[in-house]
Amino acid sequence: MRTYGQYCSVAKALDVVGDRWTLLIIRELLLQGPCRYTDLKSGLPGIATNLLSDRLRDLEQAGLIRREEAAPPVATALFHLTSAGAELEPVLTALGGWGIRYMTQPGDGDEFRSHWFAFPVSLFLHDHDPAGPPLTIELRTRAGRAPSPDLVLQGTPRVILGLLSAHLTPAEAQDLGLEIDGDPAILNRLQPDRAGSATSR
C-alpha cells in the first residue's frame, strides 16, 4: 500500500482512502446499499474496469468493504460496506457540503446519475416546521414520479441545487429553465433563513 509515511491520523486516513475513485466507491455503497460489480461500474462512469477491481481489492484488504457471494437469482458477488466503511458517511457529507460551491458551473460532458443528488440535496432538506403537515417535494431531472408531491422542481441539477441553496430565487431559477409546480414558499420550510428569503424577493 502506498503511504505518506507520516504518523498523523489525517495522513493515515488518506493512506487508505486517498486514492482516486476510492471515496466515490464508498459514496455508491452508501447511496445504493450492497452493489454488484456492474452496479458500481454504472455508478462510476469513467472508471477503468481493472482500476475498479484494484480499488475494491484494496478496500476489502483495508476492512472497509466485504464481498458476499449472493445466492440465486442474484448469483454474483455483492459488495457491502463494513461498519468502518459506513463511518465515512459524515466525511462524505462534509465533503459534499463543501463541494457545492463548485457545482454552479458543471464542466462540459459532466456525467450525472440521479441518485447522486442525495448528498447535496440532503444538506437542504431539514424541516424547520416539523409540526406542520407532511410535505413531498419531487426533484425531477429525468423520468420518475413521486406520489402526489406538494412541490415539483423540474430542471437541470445545477439550477435545482442553485435554488435549494438560495443562490437563485425561484424567479431566477425559472429564467434558467426550471419548472416549478406548486407553491415555492414551501422551500422556506426547508430553510427559513434563506438569503433574503427567496420567496419574498
In a domain, residue 103? The reply is no
Q: What DSSP designation does 185 have?
A: T
Q: Do residue 83 and residue 131 come from a single domain?
A: no
pLDDT digits (tens, 9 = 90+) for 137-163: 787 765 556 677 888 999 888 888 788
Could you tell me if 122 and 70 lie in one domain? no
3-state secondary structure 151-172: EEEECCHHHHHHHHCCCCCHHH
* CA 123 – CA 33 distance, rounded (Å): 20
Which residue carries 457471494 as its cell?
Answer: 69
Residue 196 resides in a domain = no
Give the mean pLDDT of 54-81.
92
Same domain, 51 and 113: no
Domain end, chosen from 56, 87, 118, is at 87
> Would you tell me how many other CB atoms lie within 10 Å of the CB of residue 132?
10
Same domain, yes or no: 115 and 186: yes
Task: Quote helix, strand, coil % in the chain, to nearest 5.
Answer: 45, 10, 45
**β-pair type (179-182, 151-154):** antiparallel
**For the segment 71-130, what is each residue's pLDDT rounded down to a tens digit?**
888 778 999 999 999 999 999 989 988 887 777 666 667 788 877 877 766 776 677 788
Per-residue pLDDT at 44 exceeds 90: yes
Is residue 1 in a domain?
A: no
Has residue 78 been placed in a domain? yes
Residue 139 pairs with which residues in a beta bridge?
Answer: 153
Cα separation, 52 vs 119, in Å, equals: 22
Tell whether the model's pLDDT for residue 180 goes beyond 60: yes
Domain hosting residue 77, numbered range: 9-87
The domain spanning residue 141 has which CATH number? Answer: 3.30.1050.10
Domain assignment present for residue 101? The answer is: no
User: Domain count of the chain?
Assistant: 2
- pLDDT of the residue at 110: 79
pTM of the model: 0.73
